[in-house]
């Protein structure tokens, strides 16, 4: 990622209010499936942003690594984990995902929310433990508009068709998928 892109994301996070413990949780699309998410093990949150979903997983008992390109987002995620009392279960790092998924151990859960880089699909799948859960979401052309950062209709389902897809959907400019390895 270019320095300009990193600066743009830092500015975007700096402009918005910091996440509070009230914002901890999964995106709305995944809330009906809370029971599918384990309460122990390890998790990887790809493009974790301010850490709301990562901290939610930690509050359930998981050990979580969150990575994001923005140092501002990572700092806010660290602060949110501390405010929620789960800092010992969370580790956050700055990582340029254009360079690939950072090396690390297998994960029982991988979140990739509001971010899409098809070049990471194989690495994400390979990083999931057998039976591991993938929760992915992205901006979509379905009910939205076309653009560089929007997935085409059915893209997430096609990309992860080799997994056991538990649920997926597309509407209102958003696509999401929940699947097991």
pLDDT digits (tens, 9 = 90+) for 15-33: 998 889 999 999 999 999 9
Q: Is 76 exposed, middle or buried (0-12, 13-18, 19+ CB in 10 A)?
A: buried
pLDDT at 2 over 70: no
Can you give the pLDDT at residue 1? 60
DSSP three-state, residue 96: coil
User: 9 falls in which pLDDT band (50, 70, 90)?
Assistant: confident
pLDDT digits (tens, 9 = 90+) for 120-153: 999 999 999 999 999 999 999 988 777 777 899 9
pTM across the whole model = 0.94
| Average pLDDT of every residue of the chain | 94
For the chain, how many structural domains are there in total? 1
Q: State the CATH number of the domain containing residue 88.
A: 3.40.50.150
Q: Which domain holds residue 127?
A: 3-180
Nearest 5°: the CA angle 114, 156, 167 is 90
Beta bridge partners of 165: 179
Can you give the pLDDT at residue 48? 97
Contact (CB, 8 A) for 96 and 73: no
Can you give the pLDDT at residue 151? 92
pLDDT at 86 over 80: yes
pLDDT at 42 over 90: yes
**Which percentage of the chain shows pLDDT scores above 90?**
85
Contact (CB, 8 A) for 2 and 10: no
DSSP three-state, residue 27: coil
**Which percentage of the chain shows pLDDT scores above 70?**
99
């Amino acid at each position: 990622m270019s320095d300009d892109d990193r600066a743009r994301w830092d500015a975007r996070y700096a402009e918005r209010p910091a996440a509070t413990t009230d914002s901890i949780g999964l995106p709305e699309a995944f809330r009906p499936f809370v029971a599918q998410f384990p309460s122990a093990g390890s998790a990887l949150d790809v493009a974790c942003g301010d850490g709301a979903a990562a901290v939610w997983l930690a509050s359930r008992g998981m050990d979580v690594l969150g990575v994001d390109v923005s140092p501002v987002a990572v700092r806010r995620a660290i602060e949110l984990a501390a405010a929620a009392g789960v800092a010992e279960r969370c580790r956050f790092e700055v990582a340029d995902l254009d360079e690939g998924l950072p090396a690390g151990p297998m994960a029982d859960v991988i979140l990739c929310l509001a971010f899409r880089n098809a070049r990471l699909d194989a690495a994400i799948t390979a990083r999931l433990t057998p039976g591991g859960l993938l929760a992915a979401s992205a901006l979509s052309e379905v009910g939205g508009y076309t653009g560089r950062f929007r997935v085409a209709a059915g893209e997430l389902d096609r990309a992860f068709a080799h997994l056991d897809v538990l649920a997926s959907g597309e509407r209102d400019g958003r696509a999401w998928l929940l699947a097991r390895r």
